[in-house]
């Protein structure tokens, strides 16, 4: 299990699923599951449900995240939402640079860096996603790719910021495919990311939480979470079911 400096974090990325009322019902059901005293739980509904889910989670142990933000504070950016607006609606976390955003919406490392800076400036905890595609893995360049993606984020942080920043290692080939990285392979990637953060910014890298994502389910969570550098999970499909998500939460402690 994880270093004593790092609390396990289980985050549910609901992606583009659920209406407002469905989101509220799911949030309530998750808040009602048993959550270990050392485990942090976060849910990331669609933008339209954030306000109602915030109200439903009031006074519970579950925190609210958005799935994206824009780096500017305000202005003529049709369709975008700023960090301050996410704080205003009750978010404490924001997912940045998810592979779906990189692949389908043209997000770049530069954009990820700007979003990370904007999130932190507003007091949000960024959950910055990195991960290689299948062809990159097969070409043997996994560490080059995730190293480059991590560096974009590290460039806008200092050592102290690592304690309130989260990285999610999500191999693209494992997302929504039912294929999970072997726990030992995931551990290698997580250790690589932590070492790189420590080399660039200092031993504060020991406080950086690194989540694994990609087909995490109730029946594979325990093995993944047992790895020394896996500090939690970013869960897609399995976070849409409170019972299964609850079992993943309990696998964390
Ligand atoms: P799945 O758990 O559905 O594979 O999704 C992972 C993910 O992309 C979480 O952000």
pLDDT at site 3: 67
Nearest atom in ligand 1 to 237's CA: 3
pLDDT at site 4: 72
pLDDT at site 245: 98
> Is 98 annotated as catalytic?
yes
Residue 11 bridge partners (DSSP): 42, 234
- Calpha distance 145→32 (Å, rounded): 39
pLDDT at site 2: 56
In 104-179, DSSP assigns E strands to 125-130, 166-169
Considering only the C-alpha atoms of the chain, give the largest distance between any 2 of them, rounded to a whole number of Å.
48
Class of domain 9-251: alpha beta
pLDDT at site 120: 98
The best mutation among 177, 211, 234 to test binding of ligand 1, ranked by most ligand atoms within 8 Å of the C-beta, falls on: 234
pLDDT at site 236: 98
pLDDT at site 180: 86
> Is 17 annotated as catalytic?
no
In the chain, which stretches have pLDDT less than 70?
1-3
116 close to 96: Cβ distance less than 8 angstroms: yes
To the question of pTM greater than 0.75 for the whole model, the response is: yes
The tokens for 15 are 């992606």
231 CA to middle of ligand 1, Å?
16
Which residues' Cβ are closer than 6 Å to ligand 1?
13, 98, 170, 175-176, 213-216, 234-238
Q: Each residue of 213-247: pLDDT tens digit?
A: 999 999 999 999 999 999 999 999 999 999 999 99
- Calpha distance 141→215 (Å, rounded): 22
Backbone conformation region of residue 243, classed left if phi is above 0, alpha if psi is from -120 to 50, else beta: alpha
């Amino acid at each position: 299990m994880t270093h004593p400096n790092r609390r396990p974090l289980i985050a549910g990325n609901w992606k583009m699923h659920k209406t407002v009322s469905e989101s509220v019902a799911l949030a309530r059901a998750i808040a009602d599951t048993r959550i270990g005293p050392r485990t942090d739980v976060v849910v990331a509904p669609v933008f339209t449900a954030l306000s109602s889910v915030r109200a439903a989670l009031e006074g519970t142990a579950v925190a609210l995240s958005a799935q994206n933000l824009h780096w500017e504070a305000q202005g003529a950016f049709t369709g975008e939402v700023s960090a301050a607006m996410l704080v205003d609606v009750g978010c404490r976390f924001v997912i940045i640079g998810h592979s779906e955003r990189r692949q389908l919406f043209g997000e770049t490392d530069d954009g990820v860096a700007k979003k990370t800076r904007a999130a932190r400036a507003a007091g949000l905890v960024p959950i910055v996603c990195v991960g290689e595609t299948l062809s990159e893995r097969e070409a043997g360049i996994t560490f080059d790719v995730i190293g480059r993606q991590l560096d974009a984020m590290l460039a806008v942080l200092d050592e102290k910021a690592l304690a309130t920043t989260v990285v999610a290692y999500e191999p693209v080939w494992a997302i929504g495919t039912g294929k999970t990285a072997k726990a030992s392979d995931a551990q290698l990637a997580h250790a690589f990311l932590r070492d790189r953060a420590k080399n660039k910014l200092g031993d504060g890298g020991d406080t950086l939480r690194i989540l694994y994502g990609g087909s995490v389910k109730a029946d594979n969570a325990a093995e993944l979470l047992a790895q020394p550098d896996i500090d939690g999970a970013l869960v897609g499909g399995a976070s849409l079911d409170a019972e299964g998500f609850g079992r993943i939460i309990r696998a964390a402690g």
